[in-house]
Chain A
Amino acid sequence: MSATMIDYGTLGERAAAGVKPKALSDEQKIARAKEAFIAGMDADMATYLESCIHCGMCAEACHFYLATQDAKYTPIYKLEPLKKVYRRELAPTRWLNRLTTRDITVADLEQWQELAYDSCTQCGRCSLLCPMGIHIQSMIQVVRNGLAAAGLAPAELQAVSDEQRDKASILGAGPDKLREIVERVRAKGIDVPLDKDKAEVLVLSSALDFLKDEGVLAATANIMNKLGASWTIRSDGFESANFGALAGDKQAQKRISKRVIDAAIAAGAKKVIVAECGHAYPVLRWEAATLYGKELPFEFLSVAEYLGQELKAGRLKLKKAGNGSAHVTFHDPCKIGRMGGSFDESRDVLKALGVKLTEMESHGRTNLCCGGGGGVAMLKSAQTLRRKAFELKREEVDRTGAPTVVTACNTCMQNLEMGKAWLNWDKNVVNLVQLVSDNLA
């Protein structure tokens, strides 16, 4: 597949240019960060922080540390401001800790922007290695919440988060752009039931897909039509991505995911299919109901999960794939796999397609991140670091000998495409939904 590349970094930078920094004094920044840290801290996190023995083993799971050997990328170190606030304000031994732990400063918070955003994709690999069982990934989000509250989220992410919260669009692509894209898909002879009143399945899309072209939506629509599903895509709740979550702006995250929930309830949907967008899946599947405050009358599925289910039920019928994809390796998107719990469905689909699958050394739950998730792909400041981390991925892919990498996440896809350009790398990168759409029997 020849993908038109979009450079999120440049788009993000353009968006960031419009952001006015919040006029907060140093004291206000610290107070707001502390407030968010304390609000985000729960009993589980307290247990994790109490049990850290400062062994540094988590570094050995992190692609950013492994690629650079720079000590500051040690995952637990990325939590340092949160740890300090916990030690001084919440820990049972705080009276003792105050003697040995210095309070956080604005300089700390500013310095940690790079560590909590640029150098963490929240892939969760370190949480699987820690001998004490510390869930570092879950606490990075609290660090981001604190930095965002202090007005210290990267301007790119904050700008898009504000835009998405207020206008329901991402980088200028909102409901109008969706309608335009739907028309383009229809022009290809593929029906798209836009804004149907009632449907069993609500399909989500993402500006991150259609900023590039209409390909992914066309492929998805093609599959849904072939399955004969009662489905719709709604202009009042179509966006999978959630920049509130990426920026660490919890209120924005809540408001953005509520849009999807409201649209699904209005449509009476039983299933909501989250587009191939990494963070979107765990944010909707594992966080949305709790933020919403109620159990939901429908289920969230990633595209891969839905395809896997339909395959198992015998409704999805596939031809054996020929088009240059006969030998593939599968890149597990961290957010769908390790942080989402879906590994087998994508592999079942590949098996049904009859392709030869060679796994990378790190696959499934221990998969190595491509380096672009968690909003990192948007950050211009993270580009050099991202390239270095990508080297590790490239090595693992190369060792499989497969000419094609299949994945099921838009960001992974973009990052792999970028990697091809950076390294003059001769791999085909294909997304699962496209592969399935091309091979419907």
Chain B
Amino acid sequence: MNEGLYLQGMTLLDFARGPALRWAVVIFVIGVVWRLTALLLASRKPLEPAKGSATAGGVKTLLTRSAPAHELEKNIVFQHYSGYAWHISMFIVLLFFAPHMLFFKDILGFGWPTLPNLFIDFFTVVTIGILLVLLARRLMNPVLRQISTMDDYISWIIAFLPFLSGIMSFKHITFGMSYETVLGLHILSICLLLVWFPFGKLMHALFIWPSRYKVGAAFARRGVRA
């Protein structure tokens, strides 16, 4: 078929789940691989004898940093638990909403049990609520305001849109648009997220692992549990 004709006959939804999603995935994969390999430069090798295994310490910190020591944690209780609540809710919505599971099943060839919609409603509201609170905090807290960059706000919008468009299509809050269009917008918001992912702070989802490993290794070499 002629490509021009193909595009002409396409709805927004067709575009979103067709070429847009395909190219978004391509950019995502290439971008992520590029960002990660750019950091695989040779680390400088220290010449002092170590007090402990850097590798073991690195792996340990990678796992244990999710729960800092009490003396350090007592001041960050809010950030700590809102972070947990957000990420857990986000993954629940992403993986255990029936249509999402079916989307992945299409690609992977296997499915898994999903959660009743009532739960999905709840976790979607939690994610949106936390995102709004965290944005307000970023705008008002002097510590956060001074270290915030454009990336923080762009990434916030890009993380927020899939939830907004998701709840709109799920609840049929369409503002006069057809359901298909809203669903198309939802998928496009995911495309946008995939395209932006390698270039902004969303990369923290991957950088967290080498970063934690490295700090754990640096301290373990000195005989300290980080």
| A, B bound | yes
Q: Report the minimal beta-carbon distance from A99 to chain B, rounded to whole angstroms.
A: 8
Bound CA–CA A422/B226 (angstroms): 34
**Known contacts A100-B149, A341-B222; A132 and B201 CB within 8 A of each other:** no
Closest to B207 in A: A51
Contact between chains at B83 and A131 (CB < 8 Å)? yes
**Known contacts A55-B79, A135-B215; A96 and B199 CB within 8 A of each other:** yes
Contact between chains at B71 and A47 (CB < 8 Å)? no
Bound CA–CA A293/B44 (angstroms): 12
Contact between chains at A44 and B214 (CB < 8 Å)? yes
Bound CA–CA A117/B122 (angstroms): 48
Bound CA–CA A438/B143 (angstroms): 48
A375-434 interface with B by 8 A CB criterion: none
Please indicate the chain B residues that have their CB under 8 angstroms from the CB of A93 in the complex. Answer: 35, 199
Please indicate the chain A residues that have their CB under 8 angstroms from the CB of B69 in the complex. Answer: 128, 365-366
Say yes or no: is B5 at the interface (Cβ < 8 Å to chain A). no
Contact between chains at A133 and B214 (CB < 8 Å)? yes
Say yes or no: is B30 at the interface (Cβ < 8 Å to chain A). no
Say yes or no: is B192 at the interface (Cβ < 8 Å to chain A). no
Bound CA–CA A111/B71 (angstroms): 31
Please indicate the chain A residues that have their CB under 8 angstroms from the CB of B146 in the complex. Answer: 71-72, 74, 77
Contact between chains at A76 and B72 (CB < 8 Å)? no
Interface string of A351-381 (1 = CB under 8 A from B): 0000000000110011000000000000000
Q: Report the minimal beta-carbon distance from A94 to chain B, rounded to whole angstroms.
A: 11
A31-59 interface with B by 8 A CB criterion: 42-44, 46-48, 50-57, 59
Bound CA–CA A127/B68 (angstroms): 11
Stretch at the interface among A153-161, A169-177, A281-289: A281-289
Bound CA–CA A132/B207 (angstroms): 8
Say yes or no: is A125 at the interface (Cβ < 8 Å to chain B). yes
Which of A46, A60, A282, A296 gathers the greatest number of chain B CB atoms within 10 Å?
Answer: A60
Contact between chains at A56 and B65 (CB < 8 Å)? no
Say yes or no: is A129 at the interface (Cβ < 8 Å to chain B). yes
Say yes or no: is B108 at the interface (Cβ < 8 Å to chain A). no
Bound CA–CA A365/B71 (angstroms): 10
**CB contact between A135 and one of B83, B138, B218 (< 8 Å): that residue:** B218
Interface string of A288-310 (1 = CB under 8 A from B): 11101111100100000000000
Please indicate the chain B residues that have their CB under 8 angstroms from the CB of A43 in the complex. Answer: 39-43
**Known contacts A57-B76, A288-B48; A342 and B207 CB within 8 A of each other:** no
**Known contacts A132-B204, A290-B48, A299-B49; A50 and B39 CB within 8 A of each other:** yes
Contact between chains at B39 and A295 (CB < 8 Å)? no
**CB contact between B211 and one of A51, A71, A294 (< 8 Å): that residue:** A51
Q: Report the minimal beta-carbon distance from A78 to chain B, rounded to whole angstroms.
A: 10
A65-98 interface with B by 8 A CB criterion: 65-66, 71-72, 74, 76-77, 80, 92-93, 96
Contact between chains at B47 and A340 (CB < 8 Å)? no
Closest to B147 in A: A54
Closest to B44 in A: A42
B187-208 interface with A by 8 A CB criterion: 199, 201, 203-204, 207-208
Additional A-B contact list (9), CB under 8 Å, known A42-B41, A101-B149: A42-B44, A46-B41, A47-B207, A54-B149, A60-B75, A138-B218, A293-B47, A294-B47, A342-B223
